[in-house]
Structure 1
Amino acid sequence: MKKYLFKILLLVISISFNSCETKQKEVTENNKKVNTSPNIILFVADDHGTDAIGAYGNPIIKTPNLDKLAQEGTKFTNAYCTSASCAASRSVILSGQFGHATGSYGHVHDYHHFSTYDSIKSLPVLLKKAGYETARIGKYHVAPEKVYHFDTILEANPRNTVEMAEQCADVLNSDKPFFLYFCTDDPHRGQPFEPDPWDSPNNFGNKKEGYKDVETITYKPEDVLVPAFLPDTKQTREEIAEYYQSISRIDQGFGKLMQLLKETGKADNTIVFYISDNGMAFPGAKTTVHEPGIKLPCIIKDPTKDAKGLTSDAMISWVDLTPTILDMANVDFNKNKFHGNSFYDVIGKETVEGWNEIYASHTFHEITMYYPMRVVRSDNYKLIWNIAYPLEYPFASDLWASSTWQAIYRNNVEYFGPKKVKDYLHRPEFELYDLRKDPNESDNLATKEAFKEVLETMKGKMKAFQTKTKDPWMIMWSHDASLQGSGVNL
Structure 2
Amino acid sequence: MIFFNLKEQTKKLLPLFLGCTLVLSFSCQKIEKTVQVKHSNKKQPNVILFVADDHGKDALGCYGNNVIQTPNLDQLSAQGTTFNNAYCTSASCAASRSVILTGKFGHATGSYGHTHDYHHFSTYENEKSLPLLLEEEGYYTARIGKYHLAPEKVFHFEKTLKADQRNTVQMADKCKPVFESEKPFFLYFCTGDPHRGKSTGPNWYDPNSFGNKREGYKGVETVAYKPEDVIVPSFLPDSKESREELAQYYESVSRIDQGFGRLMDNLKASGKLENTIVIYISDNGVAFPGAKTTLYEPGMNLPCIIRDPFIKEKGNTNDAMISWVDLTPTILDYVGADYKEKAFHGKSFKKAIINQDSTGFNEIFASHIFHEITMYYPMRVVRHNNYKLIYNIAHKLDYPFASDLWVSSTWQQINRSKAKYYGKRTVKDYLERDEFELYDLKKDPDEVVNLANNDNYKEVLENMKERMQTFQEETNDPWKLFWSRDYSLQGTGLDL
Q: Place the TM-score, normalised by the shorter chain, in its bin.
A: over 0.9
Give 1:93's aligned amino acid.
I
Aligned equivalents of 1:388, 1:481: Cα separation in 2: 15
* 2:71 matches 1:64: yes
Q: Which residue of structure 1 aligns with residue 59 of structure 2?
A: 52
Identity %: 66
Task: Compute the TM-score of the two structures, normalised by the length of structure 1.
Answer: 0.93
How far apart are the structure 1 equivalents of 2:464 and 2:57? 26
* 1:360-379 correspondence to structure 2 within 5 Å: 360-379=366-385
Aligned residues: 460
Match of 1:280 among 286, 290, 294: 286
Q: Tell me the equivalent position of 2:479.
A: 473
Determine the structure 1 residue equivalent to 2:437.
431
Name the CA distance, whole Å, in 1 between partners of 2:203 and 2:161. 37
Q: Specify the alignment match of 1:327 in structure 2.
A: 333
1:77 and 2:84 correspond: yes
Matched, 1:233 2:239: yes
C-alpha contact (below 8 Å) 2:330/2:347 kept by paired residues: yes
2:162 is the counterpart of 1:159: no
Equivalence for 1:458: 464
Q: Which residue number corresponds to residue 20 of structure 1?
A: none
Residue type of the alignment partner of 2:41: K
Counterpart Cα distance in 1 of 2:39 and 2:117: 42
Q: Secondary structure at the match of 1:32?
A: coil
Q: In the alignment, is residue 127 of structure 1 matched against residue 142 of structure 2? A: no
Q: In the TM superposition, what is the alpha-carbon distance from 1:351 to its structure 2 partner? A: 3.4
Residue in structure 2 matching 1:148, options 151, 155, 168: 155
Alignment partner of 1:421 is 2:427: yes
AA of the residue aligned to 2:97: R
Flag the 1:79–1:354 CA change in 2: closer, same or farther, 3 A.
same
Q: Distance in 1 between matches of 2:155 and 2:204?
A: 39
Matched, 1:298 2:304: yes
Partner SS for 2:249: helix
Distance 2:388 2:176 in 1: 44
For residue 131 of structure 1, what is the amino acid of its counterpart? Answer: G
Cα deviations by residue, 1:288-331 (Å, 9 ceiling, x for unpaired): 00000000000000011122100000000000000000111111
Match of 2:451 in 1: 445
* Secondary structure of the structure 1 residue equivalent to 2:222: coil
Tell me what 2:110 maps to: 103
Q: Which runs of 5+ in 2 are unaligned?
A: 1-37
User: 2: distance between equivalents of 1:333 and 1:121?
Assistant: 13
SS of aligned partner of 1:438: coil
TM-superposed CA distance for 1:194, in Å, is: 5.7
Distance 2:201 2:311 in 1: 48
Is the Cα–Cα contact under 8 Å of residues 76 and 312 in structure 1 kept in the other structure? Answer: yes
1:51–1:146 distance in 2 versus 1, CA, 3 Å: same
Distance 1:298 1:179 in 2: 18
Match in the other structure for 1:26: none
Match of 1:271 in 2: 277
How many Å apart are 1:489 and its aligned residue?
A: 2.2
Q: 1:206 and 1:385 mapped to 2: Cα distance? A: 37
Alignment check: 8 A CA contact 2:282 2:302 kept = yes
Q: Find the aligned partners of 2:363 and 2:312 in 1 and give their Cα distance.
A: 27
RMSD: 1.2
Paired position in structure 2 for 1:256: 262
SS at match of 2:303: strand
* CA offsets 1:60-99 (integer angstroms, 9 cap, x no match): 0000000000000000000000000000000000000000
Structure 1 Cα separation of the partners of residues 456 and 40 of structure 2: 59
Which amino acid in 2 is paired with 1:449?
Answer: D
SS at match of 2:381: strand
- 1:485 Cα shift? 3.2
The answer on whether the counterparts of 1:313 and 1:350 sit within 8 Å (CA) in structure 2 is no
Distance 1:233 1:339 in 2: 41
Q: Is the 8 A contact 2:200 2:209 kept in 1?
A: no
1:7 aligns with none
Question: 1:91 matched to which residue of 2?
Answer: 98
Matched, 1:313 2:322: no
Render the CA deviation track for 1:323-349: whole Å, top value 9, x for unaligned: 000111111211111000000111144
- 2:41 equivalent among 28, 32, 39: 32
Amino acid at match of 1:456: E
| Residue 220 (str. 1) matches residue 217 (str. 2) | no
- 1:488 CA displacement: 2.2
Deviation by residue 1:434-455 (Cα, 9 ceiling, x = unmatched):
0000000010000000000100
Q: After alignment, is 343-352 or 218-227 more displaced?
A: 343-352
CA distance in 2: counterparts of 1:179 and 1:458, whole angstroms: 38
Cα pair 2:234 2:446 within 8 Å, conserved: yes
C-alpha deviation, 1:30, in angstroms: 4.2
Could you tell me which amino acid in structure 2 is paired with residue 277 of structure 1?
D
**CA distance, structure 2, for counterparts of residue 409 and residue 153 of structure 1:** 42
The 8 Å contact of residues 324 and 343 in structure 1, kept in 2 or not, is answered as yes
Secondary structure of the equivalent of 2:160? strand
Q: Which runs of 4+ in 1 moved over 6 A?
A: none
Match of 2:492 in 1: 486
Higher mean C-alpha deviation, range 324-333 or range 68-77: 324-333
Q: In 2, distance between residues paired with 1:307 and 1:339?
A: 30
* Counterpart residue type for residue 115 of structure 1: S
Matches within 5 A, 1:328-367: 328-367=334-373
One-letter identity of the residue aligned with 1:444: N
* CA drift at 1:390: 0.4
| One-letter amino acid matched to 1:370 | Y
Q: Name the SS of the counterpart of 1:142 in structure 2.
A: coil
Residue 182 of structure 1 aligns to a residue whose secondary structure is: strand
Q: Structure 1 counterpart of 2:415, which letter?
A: Y
Q: Kindly indicate whether residue 409 of structure 2 is the aligned counterpart of residue 396 of structure 1.
A: no
- Residues 74 and 309, structure 1, Cα contact 8 Å, conserved in 2: yes
